[in-house]
Amino acid sequence: MSPALRASGLSKTFRVQERRGGFVGALKGLFSRPTREVRAVEGVSFSIERGERVAFVGPNGAGKSTTIKMLTGILQPSAGEAEVLGLVPWRERRALAYRIGTVFGQRSQLWWHLPPTDTFDLLAKVYDQDPRTHRERRDRLVDAFGLGALLTRPVKTLSLGERMRFEIVASLLHAPEVLLLDEPTIGLDVVAKGVIRDLVRARSAEDGCTVLLASHDTGDMEAVCDRVLVIHDGRLLLDRPVAELRRTWLRRKVVTLATAEPRVDVERPGVVVRERSPHRTVLEVDTSVTAVEAVVAAVLAATRLEDLTVEDPPMEEIVRAIYASATRAGAAGGGR
Amino acid sequence: MSARAPRLRLAPYLAAARLAARDQASGGAEALGRAAFLAVLLLIFSSLWRHVPTAASGTDPTTLLWYLAITEWVFLSVPAVHLTLERDVRTGDVAYRLPRPVSYLGMRVAEAAGVAAVRLVVLAVTAGGLCLLLGGGLPAHPAGLLVALPLGVAAVLLGIVAQAAVGATAPWVEDVSPLYWVWQKAAFVLGGLIVPLHLYPEGLRRVVEWTPFAVLLNGPASAVFAPDGAATARTAGLLVGWVAVFTLVARGVHRRGLSRLGVHGG
């Protein structure tokens, strides 16, 4: 059986028009505008088997969305090849559309004034589903996502987390074989993020649906996926199991403490102070040396905690570390 | 599951139109605002026509008011589909609406048709009621209203596809407002929005009556002066022709625009 997704040397270069400054420049711009080339994706190759859950991570502007747009057939690559479920996306976009689902954070396909069930009925027509099959699948998904009580409420009255759960249901209604998610948890609170991640993973496990999840949130990757592709400046930097990435690059957590005392000192191995101001301390904890719980216990022994957040380092930092490591190893294109 | 061959299906477009109609009806304030605007307009012109000698026009103030009500009914019923298409390009939404087994442009036009259906009903009731109230009765040839209604509905479809063609230029011009402004003002002046074309200079009238602007507004509304089988058939034929022309233009421009997005970025 062919892989679910395959890309080989996939590249995309955009010609970006530039504007000249000033009134004369604006007048000249009416007749001709200078353009420059921007390489959004360069020589990206990977293969994803059916049923795999793969994270596609990188900082903003790394080329994740452009790659996904090529894989859904929206953009034609400047060079290279790709196949999704054996189809060339940009040549067979409509045929492919029946077999893939897409979720884009901050974009909505739900009708604002109407309940989600109305949008679902429209999607049944769009995807040519017979009404009985549609109703059965809709009810099953709505139950699994815990949305039964909200199905007939106007979308405008739902919270962002509830809306995003409905967005994912909308993308799964036609039983896609491949689900492409682009920043599905962006803007959500911690609880809503957790719910979305659990549901995507569970649905994929149950339906055997292949998942490609683009995100700049390492939490999405860790909770949903088994494998990770790291992209930076349009190039694929790394292709590894998530467990390996966790051991190597995701050991560190950033712990921000708001304390009653103006200053708190935590003398523990693997703990480094990143920032300090009165009543606020930001620590970087190497969890392979000292657990976050031990750090918190030490702080509680010394002072009263007003607030506490534990985060992964920003994706930009992680990618910089991976890039530096790959460069040191003399394999800037490592993993490709 | 095997790949399905693309084929023309009307069901998704009809469903999109129905849903858009329900959405428009649910957010009723917008349609009511348009009805209020139409009411103010008819109030002003009913007063104006009472004080301006209209004998030279070969008609009476009541019929002139019905004429204006019909042109405005058509014009105000056309949704701003050009702005929807522009917004989709500007925000990048167009890219996210493309991976579906239906035509993006077709769905947007269908949604506009659904919105228009609600507006047509609300504005027809408003316009009819106010004309009876302010104009003092039916037009000189009441049977013309029965002709104007279906022609008006077809004219709204023409307005939608023409504005879709304007909106399809968004990948080039980014802001479609100037182009729409030209279309709108040409429709006001050459379409006979306020003054019927039969009062225009003969030479000008002969030229403009074939244009989409005149077919859009004067075509349906002029039926209230005297229902004329030949004129009705000609208007209907021109409506079909111009709808076909603008549909082809909108599709062609949209396709070229998509390839441009692919080159210059979404």
CB pairs under 8 A between A and B: 94
Mean pLDDT, residues A110-137: 93
User: Beta-strand (E) ranges in chain A?
Assistant: 5-17, 35-48, 53-57, 79-84, 100-104, 178-182, 210-215, 227-232, 235-241, 252-259, 271-277, 280-286, 305-311
pLDDT value for A329: 66
Smallest Cβ–Cβ distance between B12 and the set A16, A109, A125 belongs to A125
Is B176 strand, coil or helix? coil
Sheet holding A305-311, edge to edge: A271-277, A280-286, A252-259, A305-311
State mean pLDDT over A288-309. Answer: 89
For helices A116-126 and A160-172, what crossing angle results, to 10°?
A: 20
As a residue count, chain A comes to 336
Query: Which whole number is the average pLDDT over A305-324?
Result: 80
Residue B223 lies in a domain: yes
pLDDT tens by residue, A161-180: 899 889 999 999 999 999 99
**pLDDT tens digits along B140-179:** 889 999 999 999 999 999 999 999 999 999 988 889 999 9
CA distance to partner chain A, nearest, from residue B241 (Å)? 29
Is residue B29 included in any domain, yes or no?
A: yes
B244 in reach of chain A (CB within 8 A):
no
Give mean pLDDT, residues A139-157: 90
pLDDT in tens, B112-143: 999 999 999 999 999 999 999 988 889 988 99
Record: contact B19-A118, CB cut-off 8 A: yes
Domain count, chain B: 1
Smallest Cβ distance to B99: which of A100, A128, A177?
A100
- In chain A, what residues touch B27 (CB-CB under 8 Å)? 112-113
Does any domain span residue B75?
Answer: yes
Q: In what order do the strands lie in the sheet with A235-241?
A: A100-104, A178-182, A210-215, A53-57, A227-232, A235-241
Say if the Cβ atoms of A17 and B264 lie within 8 Å.
yes
Q: Is residue B130 part of a domain?
A: yes
Say whether A125 and B15 touch across the interface (CB within 8 A). Answer: yes
3-class DSSP state of A336: coil
Task: Return the DSSP state at A260.
Answer: S
Q: Which residue has the tokens 């679910």?
A: A4
Mean pLDDT of A258-262: 89
Helix axes B11-26, B104-135, angle to 10 degrees: 50
Q: How sure is the predictor about A153, in pLDDT bands with cuts at 50, 70 and 90?
A: very high
Rounded to whole angstroms, the Cα distance separating A272 from B76 reads 66
pLDDT score at B4: 52
Q: Are the beta carbons of B101 and A38 separated by less than 8 Å?
A: no
Minimal Cβ distance to A126: which of B1, B23, B100: B100
- Backbone dihedral angles phi then psi of residue A149, each to the nearest 5 degrees: -70, -15
Among the ranges given (A231-240, A264-273, A323-332, B45-54), the one the predictor scored with the smallest mean pLDDT: A323-332
User: What pLDDT is recorded for position A335?
Assistant: 40
Distance CA B109, CA B166 (A): 12
A334: pLDDT strictly greater than 50: no
10 Å Cβ neighbour count for A320? Answer: 14
A111: which chain B residues are within 8 Å (Cβ-Cβ)? 19, 23
Query: Where does the pLDDT of residue A42 fall: very low under 50, low under 70, confident under 90, or very high at 90 and above?
Result: very high
pLDDT over 60 (residue A319)? yes
**Model pLDDT, residue B265:** 52
Give the whole-angstrom CA distance, residue A151 versus residue A117.
6
The angle, 0 to 180 degrees and rounded to 10, between the axes of the packed helices A190-207 and A131-144 is 130
Nearest to B102 among A99, A100, A126 (CB): A126
The pLDDT mean for chain A works out to 87
Compute the nearest-CA separation of B2 from chain A (Å): 9
> Measured between beta carbons, which residues in chain A are less than 8 angstroms from residue B101?
94-95, 97-98, 126-128
The answer for A71, left when phi > 0, alpha when psi is -120 to 50, beta otherwise, is alpha
DSSP string, B47-88: HHHHHS--GGGTS-HHHHHHHHHHHHHHHHHS--HHHHHHHH
Please give the pLDDT value at position B55. Answer: 64
Q: Which pLDDT does position A323 carry in this prediction?
A: 75
pLDDT score recorded for residue A332? 45
On whether residue B165 sits in a domain, the answer given is: yes
User: What is the distance between the terminal CA atoms of chain B, rounded to a whole angstrom?
Assistant: 31
Return the pLDDT at B7. 60
CB atoms closer than 10 angstroms to residue A254: 17
Any A CB within 8 A of B23 CB:
yes
pLDDT at A104 over 90: no
**pLDDT beyond 60 at B2:** no
Q: Give B266's pLDDT tier (boundaries 50, 70, 90).
A: very low
Distance from CA of A226 to the nearest CA of B (A): 25
Is there a contact between A74 and B99 if contact means CB atoms under 8 Å apart? yes
CB contacts of B6 in chain A (<8 Å) are 94-95
Domain containing residue B228 = 11-264
Task: Look at residue B6 and tell me if it is in a domain.
Answer: no
**Contact (CB, 8 A) for A18 and A34:** yes
Residues contacting A191, CB < 8 A, separation 6+: A161
Report pLDDT for B56: 66
Give residue A245's pLDDT. 82
Look at B1-5, B206-210, B253-257 and tell me which has the smallest mean pLDDT. B1-5
Q: Which residues contact B108 (CB under 8 A, 6 or more apart)?
A: B81, B84, B85, B88, B164
Q: Where are the alpha helices (DSSP H) in A208-291?
A: 218-224, 242-248
Let me know if residue B143 belongs to a domain.
yes
Q: Is the pLDDT of residue A20 over 80?
A: no
B42 within a domain of the structure (yes/no)? yes
